[in-house]
Structure 1
């Protein structure tokens, strides 16, 4: 079970926003984050990853406590054992495509998985290309592959398919479902595409202006 009880204030283009979440979510589910821009979806992922710190509350994923304000506990990002795909991709320009994908798991190099992800993402012919030589959609596929290469039990995906054309987007939706069926991780993903949210998710975390609500599909 994932237990989330947090309070966090942050600034948006429309002013200060208070993010308040108190919910329990079963593990090994795909949770789609839906809601208007500025509602706190990306901020929530960054909190789960340890890149933002709530003012108060507790976050527990399975048996691991990520954050507990009462006990002054805040596990650093590198110890949270998760894969994170950033909205801006956050790829390493000094590495090629293959090296970027393999970066998150350099402590246990797995050429077979890297090759599989290159094939899934249709990046085999670009494996030695530098990041600046790629299009936006290609960069997005590299970022998604790098997150999945961690083989974590928790994936955080911030608009993982938004820059892709429809055929590639449809293909990768199916591949995400196959990876989910194979590894049974917990996946949180942000999307502004309602059809995508309903196709991929088993739960929906709906962000509104005044509350965050967990919905079972």
Structure 2
């Protein structure tokens, strides 16, 4: 259990933000922090990691006091065994992939190093320098180094500050799957800063929304994003990518936003429909109805 009750004055441009956060995070949970820029999300992660000191309050992890303003207790970063992945990866440019990861390990623990390289798909890249890696490969190195910090500790806290935001969509989805698998495999307590609603739904069990330095709302992703009861039909705009016949029905491949989806349609629904046409899918009780839109 992570119990957080902290206060800190932050300077944001020309204004001052009074950060006042109270949270309780269950061990083994994955939670997400949401909020616009300047609401204190990254600062909260830095205070958990010991990279920034709160002005008041306390941080207690598994009944161990990491910070207490009243007793002036402050556990330094090297004693917290927290793994943190920054948005810019923060790798050592002059160290190889293996050495970047080994930096967070006991230098003689070659078995754990080999295991981390294997599970993050980096074994073949172990002697490469960060400058020669792709964005996705750098992300894996940063994640493996963070895991090296926490995998053998009791707290096993992983802090992720928008770690996937710079990646293309396909790679982002792949690393989301890998991150979720590693979270479960190592029994981590993970705190994720993300602005991607789909990512939050996929990964997080609990969401905390920060506004003006405080927790404005909290709940499951469904409670946060789907809190209003939807009435009537849901209309989605789509572009026709392909039309193919399979036995007595037709399958339409549609581009909805940045996602490609397939739906089943009848012969009458595809009459006059061509690849490239814009359509509206109207769904009620998950039954799609198709209305062709005029071109132009």
Identify whether the pair has TM-score above 0.5, normalized to the shorter chain: yes
CA distance in 2, matches of 1:89, 1:14: 29
2-side partners of 1:4 and 1:202: how far apart? 18
**1:80-134: per-residue Cα shift (whole Å, max 9, x none)?**
12111122322112210111122211256243x5445434544343221112223
Greater mean alpha carbon deviation, residues 44-53 or residues 169-178: 169-178
Q: Which residue of 2 aligns with 1:212?
A: 215
- Structure 2, unaligned runs of 5 or more: 221-296
1:159 corresponds to: 162
Contact persistence 1:203–1:214 (CA under 8 A) = no
SS in 1 for 2:166: coil
Give the conservation status (yes or no) of the 8 Å contact 2:87–2:165: no
Larger radius of gyration: 2
8 A contact 1:34–1:197 mirrored in 2: no
Q: Distance in 2 between matches of 1:214 and 1:172?
A: 28
Q: TM-score, normalised by structure 2?
A: 0.67
Count of residue pairs the alignment pairs up = 216
2:199 alignment partner, SS class: helix
SS at match of 1:23: strand
Instruction: Tell me which residue corresponds to 1:168.
Output: 171
1:190 pairs, out of 181, 190, 193, with 193
Mean CA deviation greater in 116-125 or 134-143? 116-125
TM-score, L = length of structure 1 = 0.90
Name the structure, 1 or 2, with higher relative contact order (CA <8 Å, separation 6+).
1
Answer whether contact 2:89 2:139 (CA < 8 A) is retained.
Answer: yes
The 3-state SS of whatever aligns with 2:128 is coil
Alignment partner, residue 260 of structure 2:
none
User: Separation in 1 of the partners of 2:51 and 2:217?
Assistant: 23
**How big is the alpha-carbon RMSD for the aligned residues of Structure 1 and Structure 2?**
2.0
More helix by share: 1
Q: Is the 8 A contact 1:83 1:154 kept in 2?
A: yes
Measured after TM superposition, the shift of residue 186 of structure 1 is 0.6
Q: In structure 1, what is the Cα distance between the partners aligned to 2:148 and 2:124?
A: 19
Residue 11 of structure 1, CA deviation: 1.9
Q: In 2, distance between residues paired with 1:135 and 1:162?
A: 14
- How far off its partner does 1:163 sit? 1.9
User: Where does residue 134 of structure 1 map in the other structure?
Assistant: 133
Determine if contact 2:96/2:130 at 8 Å carries over to the other structure.
Answer: yes
Task: Compare 199-208 and 41-50 and name the one that shifted more.
Answer: 199-208
Match of 1:26 in 2: 26
State which drifts further: 153-162 or 72-81.
153-162
